[in-house]
Each structure stands twice: as structure tokens, then as C-alpha cells.
Structure 1
Amino acid sequence: MEVDLLDFVEQCRQLVKQALGKHAGEPASGGFARWKHVVLHCFRLEDSHSYRETPNRLQYMTDICDALGLDPDNLPDFTTLYKSFDRLEMWVWRALLRVSAQQHPQSGHAALDSTFFDRRSASSYYRQRSGSNVQTLKVTTLTDRESLAVLDVHISARWKHDTKTGPQVVRRNADDLLSVAADKAFHNWITKYEF
């Protein structure tokens, strides 16, 4: 499916500003507003190019630069983008996930599941620089059963049992849920919170 990048960037800009609220204009790093950094990361991922290629591509995309309020001759360096991605806190991504999930019709019926994400594919150089020796992450997702929109995500390097992470994810979204379907790993806590 082909995506019009300008429409994509404008829609991202709107969603990010809505998600970040009063914090959207605060500089994240490099003097640019936080919302610009988030939209640039979305643009980079949608167009499937590296951090180093991002400023080079933007230099020739004047419409996208105009939509972001960037001067094509004064674009952020690729190292600024790279570092800002690591500096953005989890609340930024969680707020963006919440706002983007609201764009889909929600049934109130959700599915809860956990899986593991292998980080061995990350470069060993990056892992050494960051001081991280985590090989595998545990990811718990809450997904709307009709629209398949991801409503919430919990990521942990410590593999807590599903009976610990499940309630945490469900409680964060309890106001919007009518029912939650989960596999047997989550079964211990359901009866506690049913009444």
C-alpha cells in the first residue's frame, strides 16, 4: 500500500501535538520542539531509511519541511535525531499510542497476550555502549478484538509472571474495557478483580 508522505507527516503532526499536549513545544534536544523529533522519527520509520539518510532526504522534500516548520538548509544532524530517539521518555510513546489507538473504532472487548522479543539482532557495539546485556524482552499487549488496534503495551527486561503484568496493563485501560480475553497464563488474577 502506497502512502502519501506529506499526508502521513501532517497526520503525525496532528496526533503528536494532541498526544503531547502542553509538552509538545518543549525542546527535546538540539533546540527543536519535542513534537518535531517524534514526527521525524515516524517519517524515518515510514519511509524505511536510516538516521543518516533522514536529513539528506528532507533537504529535497520542501513540502515536508514546510509542514514541520524546518528550514531545508538548517536541518537537524542525524546524530541529533539518533540521540533524541533514546532521550524521549516512555510517557511520550505511551501517549502517542493512546491517541493513535483512539483513531480506530473500539469495541470495548480486548485481548491480552505476552510474547518475547529477541534483542540479539541489535548490534553488539550498541549493547556494549549502552551497558546493556539484556538479550530478550517480555512484551505484553492489550489489543482491541475488532479493530486490532494496540491499546497498551508493557515491555520489561525482567520477566515478571503474566499474573503480575496483566492486571497492570488492564488497570491502565479499565475505564474503556467491557471484557478482556486472555490465555491460561493470566488466569490467577481474573477472579480477584471480577467482583
Structure 2
Amino acid sequence: MVEVDLLDFVEWFKRLAKQALGKHAGEPATGGFARWKHVVIHGFRLEEDHSFRETANRLKYMGDIRDVLELDRSDVPDYTTLNKSFDRIKMWVWRALLRVSAQQHPQSGFAALDSTFFDRGHASAHYLDRSNQAVETLKVTTLTDTASLAVLDVQCHAQWRHDTKSGPQVVRRNADDLHTVAADNGFQDWHSEYELPCFAAE
């Protein structure tokens, strides 16, 4: 019998994924399965911190989870299929999931904008060679609600765009829901101040 907390998580994530994907939820993705099934399987995998191979093996013996995923035991995708489908998930899917998950928290309209660097050194050399990628560090700009601490938006850049370019772009996408955005002086320039009255540099 699956732990109730894990089963609740998978059921909750299924609802979240279908809401985020909307009309695209049922469209087939890698392996012929509906897109929402791939997204939920990866959510299950990441929640449990298992490898692709471990995830496929566990799903074969976890009937309750398969029931939520609407999969028979013979339908469980191979770990290589899971690996490929994760690589192929489009950015719009991640952004939709982030937006819907942020909506689960109360939003105050007051947000903080910040940038940091994310080291991709954890990625295997085999993956980097296979994907023909040599980028070691990404610049990540985040927009966070100051009351709930929910991350409202994320933007990643391999070319390390200046804050005055990435900041306004992130804020524009969320402008309808914002009253004030706090950021350090690295984000401030005349363009952002003129176009975005909610922008307040510190």
C-alpha cells in the first residue's frame, strides 16, 4: 500500500498539471502517452529523488500510483523513455506549472526581483556531450512574492544578460498582478522606471 502522503501528492500534482497544461494536457508526448502523464511521473520522480530507472521500476509495483496515472503495469514507460521525455519538456510547460503552483499561495502584489547564478556542474559529461551543450553556468532571474515567498516567475539565460534587460521582461509578464517590485540598483535604468511605474529600486 502506498503511503497516503505520496498518493495525495501524486493526485494533487495530477490536478495541477492538467490545469497548467489546459487543452494540451491530453496531447501525446514522447512514447505516445498524454503530456500530463509524463509531467506527473517526473513530479513523482523528483519528489522521491529517484533515478529514471528506479522510477520505472517503482511504478511497476505501485498499483495505487499507476491508478492515478491511468496506466496498466504493462504501460509503464521504460526509463530511457522517461529520460528522453524530461529532456524534451518545453519551457512553456515549466512556466505554466510554475504559474499554477504559485497561484496556490495568496499573492500580495508586492514582489522582489533578483538574479543569481546556477552552476550546471552537476550535469553529467555524457549528457552535455549528447545535448551538444557547453554552458556551465546560467544566470537566473526570479520574481518572488514578498508575503508568501512563492516564486512567481523565473527566467534563465546562458549568455548572462544584464539585469536591466532581463528584469523588465520578467516584470512585464506579471505586471497585471503586481503593485510594487523591489530590486537592487542593478535592475534600474530610465527605461524600466518610465515603462514600469511599479518598479522600485533599492
Which TM-score applies when normalising by structure 1?
0.96
Q: Map Cα deviations across residues 115-135 of structure 1 (whole Å, 9 max, x no partner).
A: 000112211121111111101
Name the structure 1 match of 2:193. 191
Seen in structure 2, the aligned counterparts of structure 1 residues 115 and 59 have a Cα distance that, compared at 3 Å, is same
Q: Please tell me whether residue 90 in structure 1 is matched to residue 97 in structure 2.
A: no
Identity %: 71
How do 1:20-99 residues align onto structure 2 when only pairs under 5 Å count?
20-99=21-100
Q: Give matches, 1:120-131, under 5 Å.
A: 120-131=121-132
Quick check: 1:108 aligned with 2:109?
Answer: yes
Query: How far, CA to CA, are the matches of 2:11 and 2:124 in structure 1?
Result: 33
| 2:137 is the alignment partner of 1:136 | yes
- CA drift of 1:74 comes to 2.5
* Cα separation, 2, equivalents of 1:171 and 1:151: 12
- Give the C-alpha shift of residue 73 in structure 1: 2.8
Shift of 1:167: 0.4
Q: Taking structure 1 as reference, are residues 194 and 53 closer, same or farther at Cα in structure 2, changes over 3 Å only?
A: closer
* One-letter identity of the residue aligned with 1:193: E
Cα gap change, 1:67 to 1:3, in 2 (>3 Å): closer
| Cα distance in 2 for residues equivalent to 1:123 and 1:90 | 21
1:151-183 CA-to-partner distances (Å, cap 9, x unmatched) read 000001011100000000000000000000001
Cα separation, 2, equivalents of 1:17 and 1:140: 26
State the alpha-carbon separation in 2 of the partners of residues 48 and 129 from structure 1. Answer: 23
Offset of residue 89 of structure 1: 0.6
1:70-126 CA-partner distances (Å, limit 9, x unpaired): 112331001111100111110011011100100000000000000000112211121
- Paired residue secondary structure (2:126): helix
More helix by share: 2
Aligned to 2:9: 8
Which residues in structure 2 correspond to 1:116-195 (within 5 Å)?
A: 116-188=117-189, 189-195=191-197
**How many residues are aligned here?**
194
What is the CA–CA distance in structure 2 between the aligned matches of 1:95 and 1:134, rounded to whole Å? 25
**TM-score normalised by the chain length of structure 2:** 0.93
**In structure 1, what is the equivalent of residue 200 of structure 2?**
none
For 1:135 and 1:3, how far apart are their aligned partners in 2? 39
- Output the CA distance in 2 between the equivalents of 1:37 and 1:125: 23
Contiguous gaps of at least 5 residues in structure 1: none
Instruction: Give the root-mean-square deviation of aligned CA atoms.
Output: 1.3
